[in-house]
Structure 1
Amino acid sequence: MRIEVDQSGKIEQTDMDTILAFSNNHQYAVLFTKDTKRELIKKYRKEKQIILKLFVACVYYTIKDYLHQAELIIIDNEYDGKQNYIKSLLLDFIRKDYRDFDKNLIRIAHITKNSKAHEFAANVKRGFAKPQKILSEKDIEKLIRGALASRPASTVFSAKLRHGLAWHPSSLFAIDASVFKPFAQK
């Protein structure tokens, strides 16, 4: 099955809902409400690429029930210059469930306004059709948790105190640097 995914209302437009949909023999649309978008963008505003991560999460929820039937997945090129990042992150999400999913089945290309996916997404946005899934904050966070930039534990101390003690600004105490070995020595 060929799946073309189109978006109506960009993720970064927090004054409107975002709908991602595909339509061929089957139709499927997810609704990402403006309130949920605002909450997540506010919560993760310091994260790099949070808009793209939210977009890819929406794409994933749009296609996930049809991945086993997919012969080709075409995602509308909404974020020019970010195609490789989007494809890579989507593959990470997909491979949690489908370990051997072929990366060549995913393409990012321009989808015209004449496509069924565009028409279905627009109809959902206008209220002429209903989405099959309304994404919650919990849905999105569950998926993107691993994609969020991890905050590595700092192993570099910002100040060395006398007598071999080291101090880090986030700690309330000093530790003995001679017994703290963050990495195994080879």
Structure 2
Amino acid sequence: MKTCFLTFCTLLISLISVGSIHAQPSIVVKGTYDQKEILNQALHYAEILGLDKKTHIIISFTHNINPVNLGYTQYQSEEVLGGWHQIYIRINKRKRRSVQMITLAHEMVHAQQFVMGKLKLCNNDQYSWRGSQCTDLRNTAYHERPWEREAQATSVKLYDQYKTYNLMAMRSRRNDP
């Protein structure tokens, strides 16, 4: 976590010093052969989900994750970072590519939930959803958690929309003289 924070600070300082902060979030992709495609996909999701320049996202495709998990999202509170949001998304590299891509959409929804304050980490195993009292995750089945239901429903739509958007962009490039 300390390394991620230092990486974020270094990137933030370099962006500010060259004056290149734009409306879109800063996204770094690691551990995949197609970083440009994943970056485009993540930027597409970020725009739809309303994630802006005060959000820094590190997306890592890794084998270093529980084999049963598809992915997960960690959030660094904006209070600690002076109004900036740090999101760390890990995607299970062992899964099929299509599963990884839907998982990316799912985890980007969690990023939005954290940034917008809908989902808050109270402590290690407790979360608050939309201002409710903190809930111990050990007492709630995964698919019964409201933030997971929202992410599941939204991620499939996001992924389908991205595939359509990407297909239209490819057709447009082919038709350009």
Query: What TM-score comes out, normalization by structure 2 length?
Result: 0.27
- Of structures 1 and 2, the one scoring higher in RCO (CA 8 A, sep 6+) is 1
TM-score (norm 1): 0.26
Q: Higher helix proportion, which one?
A: 2
